[in-house]
Structure 1
Amino acid sequence: MYEIDRKLMELEDKQTPIHVSLIGCGQMGKDIIAQISKMKGIVCDIAVDIDTDFVLDGYGQAGYSPEDIVVAEDLKKVEEAVREGKKVAASDYRLAVAARQTQVVIDATGSPEMGARITLECIFYKKHIVMMNVECDVTIGPILRKLCEQAGIVYSLTAGDEPGSICEIYRFAKSLGFKVVAAGKGKNNPLDFYATPDTPEWAGKAKERKMAPRMLVEFVDGSKTMIEMAAVSNATGLVPDVRGMHCAKCNVDELKTVFSLKSQGGVLEKEGVVDFAIGNVAPGVFVVVTTDNQRIIDGLVQRDMGQGPNYLLYRPYHLCSIETPITAAQAVLYGESSGHPMDHLTSECITIAKRDLKKGEVLDSIGEYCYRASIDLHSVARDGNMLPVGLAKGAVMKCDAEKDTVLTYDMVELSEKSVLVQLRRIQDQMLNA
């Protein structure tokens, strides 16, 4: 990446590091603080969480002593503390963006509504935004990216998360002129559409992994995978072959065969798709490519890539938040993203009832009890008036809906106070004009 290690070392030598602010100090946020503490030429000065104890714990696990940390809820005090080389813990996300030293903001909240609000603040103050909040990206990513570009700042998905890691391989493949057959990820747990935080198996595993049950369930019920692959779709133009994708059960050595056309013995109706597999693929991500040039085919055979017609480009790891600082540095040093949506939606994450829902019921969060996400073409979702899953939280049911029903806008009442909802409406007007 353009000698990024050397660039960071130069900043370290000049004592002019990249200044990062972090919003959201859960498991991922604490990883980011710890990783940046080991890096040269980049610092995390300000970290924010509703509960500043989470921030203090994050700084403590990164090796900072209590004397290094200042709890501040006033912009002047925040900026003074940063000038003095202190680490700042705060509960107001606006302070992290507004501080004059901040160059790039990382959103690790996981809340679509907060993602909308944080990015608007970044646009106002002209601070780059690293969007770990994929739930927000698949809902209003195109308009946020457009507004960021007009403000002269970078809007980026994060390196290390599956969408960013897949985009890395996809860009490599496309730059070499390969045709992309499929791009995807491995899923490292079974698919249980009706999992809830109270399901004994998943409640127990969440406790073992020191995760909130809701977070684990978002993975188990498939919602996270659908959201992540929608982000890839919207960044690349690749499409889901079928609603929900194929969820093939296969291992790494079978990927290029399984994710090929049916006429070639695979599962696909068409090429150029996003999908996922359950097997020994996780924590890896993959892109299956092909070429019609015989010279290139011969070269791939000689390099032990197989006999074709498809070839596997496989990255056996993604390090999630541990890689995120690279995106922050890339935005500041090169003005580039690790992946971002195009100016339109290719795919939509739709909302499907996990159980019977009643009129007047308030919908909960992704990974809880009311609904799950699935992926379909944006055009299909638009024509069916389907509710994007990012808008579901807090919506009030206007009618009963049976289990497995795809929820539509007509079935719910959305909050008029939501910045996310308002931006989505503007985005829809722009895209559908």
Structure 2
Amino acid sequence: MPPSGAPPVRYALTGARGGFGRTLLAQTRHTPRVAPDALCDLDVDGTVAMCRELGFRADDLAVCRTADEVAARPAGTVAVVPDLALLTGAGHDVLVEATGSPAAGYRAAVDALEHDRHVVMVSKEVETVVGTDLARRAADRGLGYVPGAGDQPANLVGWYARTRELGLEVVAAGKSGEYDLVLDPATGRLTHLDQQIDVADPERLLAPPEPGGVRRTLDARADAVATIRRSAAADLCEMAVVADATGLVPDVETLHYPVARVAELADVYARAQDGGVTGRTGVVDVFTVLRRPDEASFAGGVFVVVRTHDPVTWETLSGKGHVVSRDGRYACLYLPYHLMGVETPLSVLAVAERGAAAAPPGRGRHVVLAGRARTGLPAGRTLAMGGHHHDVDGVAPVLFAAAQAPDDVAPLYLAAHARLARDVPAGAPVRIGDLADPDPHLLAAWRTGATC
């Protein structure tokens, strides 16, 4: 972190035109110790227009389409480039990788590390395939490779580390889905994004589970919202990042996704023998918030559920409004927010100050984010990736503990954009051998990462 009066830490941002990129650029307009040096996006004109909306002057920006133009730009200007290769000639200290593209993000991160620049990794799609390889590369060069604060993986890894430092036993850790189920008991109308359904007996769905009745309540809620798709590849992707950083693993390959109210989480994520849903200790999961219209959202925030110890301590905390299970054996500690790029300057500063020491300790290959064919997939089909949550067409995301992963299973975002070499039956996991043309750099890095 620069001392008072020192030049700001300069960062380059890939995927600059995206939603995350805007939140970071908007925030660093107000952070004197962090400033952009270069912005990369295929949509150069759109990136410039966005920067102007955020208050950049025209002469703050230099559109550069060649390496010579990057080198010759006026001092203090922000280079706006369409090609990742042009970033190597810029003057930044830290790369913030936010393309969401496995191949492009990996290339950008490797280039940054080879030019002795730290990396803040926001692209979880990149991380789930090559994060272990990139972490090793960074460590070998004494550089920092960290997740970006403000997104759930970094927030949850930090929150988990805090609870473990306190000696608390973590039973489950996770986040809420991006969008709540908002139920108006006066009308029976339930809203999820732009989808609305009518439910019978809304007060029954909103009521807390009866003692010993957590599973019955969760089953009834799941049935009531069965027509709403609540799971997303992005959720499992984020939990894969958390798992590799912490050693936590999924309880079931599709995650539990209970529909729960925040006050119920300590009961919901209790061990199964105590009436909850978890089959083991130390799991990652995602829940869907159920709330009334006038109640605050969990906002895609993060949580850990821990075992309690001294009953008097936790009875005191329960009296202060903390979420403690009915039997007093479990408590839920949570952060009800994720602020995207608004918080990421903290990661840029931390990695610039501490380098490799800023990286989460103890990461490894603990899980495999993979995919099962939703229907039979014919040879020759390309597994297109797209949409807001970067779903892979025709493939349902699943999260395996590494020790239980099928042989030769393909990571989901290695399979993305690849063409199938052979038919894949419905329900079968997509394997590396099923892919005719996986990206060779990603494949090599995936295999290298397995030995790290």
Asked whether the two chains share a fold, i.e. TM above 0.5, the reply is: yes
- 1:78 aligned to which of 70, 78, 89: 70
- 2:376 aligned to which of 347, 353, 356: 356
Tell me the secondary structure at the aligned position of residue 278 of structure 1. Answer: strand
Matches for 1:167-182 after TM superposition, within 5 Å: 167-182=157-172
Percent identity for Structure 1 against Structure 2: 27
419-428 or 44-53: bigger deviation: 419-428
**1:262·1:269 contact (CA, 8 Å) conserved in 2?**
yes
- Matched residue, 1:105: 95
- Matched residue, 2:10: 19
Q: How many angstroms does 1:356 deviate by?
A: 2.8
Relative to structure 1, is the Cα distance of residues 133 and 322 closer, same or farther in structure 2, using a 3 angstrom cutoff? same
- Matched residue, 1:213: none
Cα distance per residue 1:94-139 (max 9 Å; x no partner): 222442x210001110011112111111121010001101111111
- Matched residue, 1:384: 407
Relative to structure 1, is the Cα distance of residues 126 and 47 closer, same or farther in structure 2, using a 3 angstrom cutoff? same
Tell me the secondary structure at the aligned position of residue 397 of structure 1. Answer: coil
- 1:258 aligned to which of 264, 268, 289: 268
Relative to structure 1, is the Cα distance of residues 342 and 54 closer, same or farther in structure 2, using a 3 angstrom cutoff? farther
Number of aligned residues: 395
**2:179·2:300 contact (CA, 8 Å) conserved in 1?**
no
2:289 maps to 1:289:
no
- Matched residue, 2:343: 323
For structure 2, the residue ranges without an aligned partner over 5 or more in a row are 182-190, 196-228, 291-297
Q: How many angstroms does 1:28 deviate by?
A: 1.3
| Rounded Cα–Cα distance in structure 1 between residues aligned with 2:395 and 2:330 | 37
- 2:133 aligned to which of 140, 143, 150: 143
**1:49·1:92 contact (CA, 8 Å) conserved in 2?**
yes
- Matched residue, 1:396: 419
Question: Which residue identity does 1:404 align to in structure 2?
Answer: G
Relative to structure 1, is the Cα distance of residues 398 and 272 closer, same or farther in structure 2, using a 3 angstrom cutoff? same
Q: After TM superposition, which residue ranges in structure 1, 4 or more long, deviate above 3 angstroms?
A: 74-77, 188-191, 201-205, 291-307, 336-343
**1:158·1:338 contact (CA, 8 Å) conserved in 2?**
no
**1:222·1:374 contact (CA, 8 Å) conserved in 2?**
no
Relative to structure 1, is the Cα distance of residues 187 and 204 closer, same or farther in structure 2, using a 3 angstrom cutoff? closer
Matches for 1:13-162 after TM superposition, within 5 Å: 13-14=5-6, 16-25=7-16, 26-81=18-73, 84-99=75-90, 101-162=91-152
Cα distance per residue 1:271-322 (max 9 Å; x no partner): 1110010114442211111243567546645655346211111101101122
| Rounded Cα–Cα distance in structure 1 between residues aligned with 2:320 and 2:168 | 16
- Matched residue, 1:238: 248
Matches for 1:418-433 after TM superposition, within 5 Å: 418-428=440-450, 430-431=451-452
| Rounded Cα–Cα distance in structure 1 between residues aligned with 2:426 and 2:153 | 30
**1:162·1:318 contact (CA, 8 Å) conserved in 2?**
yes
Relative to structure 1, is the Cα distance of residues 225 and 338 closer, same or farther in structure 2, using a 3 angstrom cutoff? farther
Relative to structure 1, is the Cα distance of residues 301 and 336 closer, same or farther in structure 2, using a 3 angstrom cutoff? farther
Structure with higher Rg: it is 2
**1:113·1:418 contact (CA, 8 Å) conserved in 2?**
no
| Rounded Cα–Cα distance in structure 1 between residues aligned with 2:77 and 2:245 | 38
| Rounded Cα–Cα distance in structure 2 between residues aligned with 1:203 and 1:178 | 36
2:193 maps to 1:183:
no
Relative to structure 1, is the Cα distance of residues 276 and 419 closer, same or farther in structure 2, using a 3 angstrom cutoff? same
| Rounded Cα–Cα distance in structure 2 between residues aligned with 1:68 and 1:143 | 36
| Rounded Cα–Cα distance in structure 1 between residues aligned with 2:192 and 2:65 | 38
- Matched residue, 2:283: 273
Question: Which residue identity does 2:345 align to in structure 1?
Answer: P
**TM-score, L = length of structure 1:** 0.84
Q: How many angstroms does 1:140 deviate by?
A: 1.5
| Rounded Cα–Cα distance in structure 2 between residues aligned with 1:126 and 1:330 | 16
Matches for 1:182-201 after TM superposition, within 5 Å: 182-189=172-179
| Rounded Cα–Cα distance in structure 1 between residues aligned with 2:250 and 2:193 | 31
| Rounded Cα–Cα distance in structure 2 between residues aligned with 1:391 and 1:247 | 25
Cα distance per residue 1:228-280 (max 9 Å; x no partner): 00111111111111111111110110111100101111011111110010114
Cα distance per residue 1:129-157 (max 9 Å; x no partner): 01101111111211210110111111011
Cα distance per residue 1:315-362 (max 9 Å; x no partner): 011011221121111111233677648452111101122333111112
- Matched residue, 1:413: 436
Which has a greater percent of helix? 1
Tell me the secondary structure at the aligned position of residue 374 of structure 1. Answer: strand
Tell me the secondary structure at the aligned position of residue 335 of structure 1. Answer: helix
| Rounded Cα–Cα distance in structure 1 between residues aligned with 2:441 and 2:351 | 25
| Rounded Cα–Cα distance in structure 2 between residues aligned with 1:427 and 1:167 | 20
**2:24·2:340 contact (CA, 8 Å) conserved in 1?**
no
For structure 1, the residue ranges without an aligned partner over 5 or more in a row are 1-6, 192-200, 206-218
Cα distance per residue 1:67-90 (max 9 Å; x no partner): 2211113334324436x2212111
| Rounded Cα–Cα distance in structure 2 between residues aligned with 1:298 and 1:336 | 41
Q: How many angstroms does 1:377 deviate by?
A: 0.7
Relative to structure 1, is the Cα distance of residues 147 and 368 closer, same or farther in structure 2, using a 3 angstrom cutoff? closer
| Rounded Cα–Cα distance in structure 1 between residues aligned with 2:19 and 2:108 | 19
Superposed CA RMSD: 2.6
